[in-house]
Structure formats: structure tokens, C-alpha cells
Amino acid sequence: RTNFVGLFMLTLGLLDLLFAGAPSRVVNVSSVTHRSGSAEWEASLPFHADARTYSSSKLALACFTTELNRRYGATHGLRAISANPGAVCSEIWFRGQQPPWQARLLRALFRCVFLSPAQGATPIVSAATATEWDAQAPKVKQKTA
């Protein structure tokens, strides 16, 4: 649930500050696994640490990012961006799900084919800091008297 609900609540709590600092950005870390997520939100409320729950949380985050742009992009100067780090060889893959011998084998394989954590961070840092995103930011509609 933290994968979505925590980010949702934090973002909502910061909206006034984001509006006051416009143009502003919200960067959410996405995953290609959102494509296999389920929009049956109530079904995922009992938390299970599995791929289906993860995929559904990433789908919820993609929907939230889209909705932030729709609601606040043109009127409040808020740009919400989903940044996908790609397949990263991080410790998330090795949290006791496999026997130690299998984890060692997978870690060696993943290092050969997956991105390093630094490489995975590149699109996220870019989404947060690169000026190229400014040109794509929604324009704030000025109120007329």
C-alpha cells in the first residue's frame, strides 16, 4: 500500500505548496508492470507482497499521475511525470524470496543484463531536474477580470 497510498497522501498534502511554487513537478517512479495491474482496487486492499499487488499499485500511480496533470496542469502549473527506471539490479530482487544459492546465481545474472542503480536513477533525476521538461509543462491559465 505504501507504494501508492503513501505517495497519494503525501502529494495531496503538498498540493498547496506545489501550487504556490508553480511551475512545479511531481515525479512518480513507474514500472512497465503497471500493464498487468488490476483496476479492481478493493480486491488489492488486503495487502499481499506479490507481483499482482505491486503491478496494481503501479497502475494506480500511473492513473494518479495522469489525473494530476488533467486537474492541475493547465490551471495550477503542476507537471506530474511518471519516470520508469527500467530493469534495475537492486536488492529488491533478493529479499529472502530465494534460497541463498539461487540469490547468488540470480544476482550474477542480473548484473550482466539489468541496469545498475545509478543508471536506473538517471530518468528519475532527469524528470525532476532537466529543463527540457519545462517546455512540456502545462501552461497556467491566467484569470481574467
Q: Is 72 a catalytic residue?
A: no
Side-chain half-sphere CA neighbours of 48 within 13 A: 10
What DSSP letter does each residue of 63-104 carry, written as one string? HHHHHHHHHHHHHH-EEEEEE---SB--GGGGSSSS-HHHHH
* Contact status, residue 90 vs residue 124, Cβ threshold 8 Å: no
Write the DSSP symbol of residue 39.
Answer: S
Catalytic residue among 4, 54, 64, 72: 54
Gyration radius from the chain CA atoms: 18
Whether the upstream peptide bond of residue 46 has omega within 30° of 0, thus cis, is: no
- Grid cell, residue 32, equals 512497465
Catalytic residues: 54
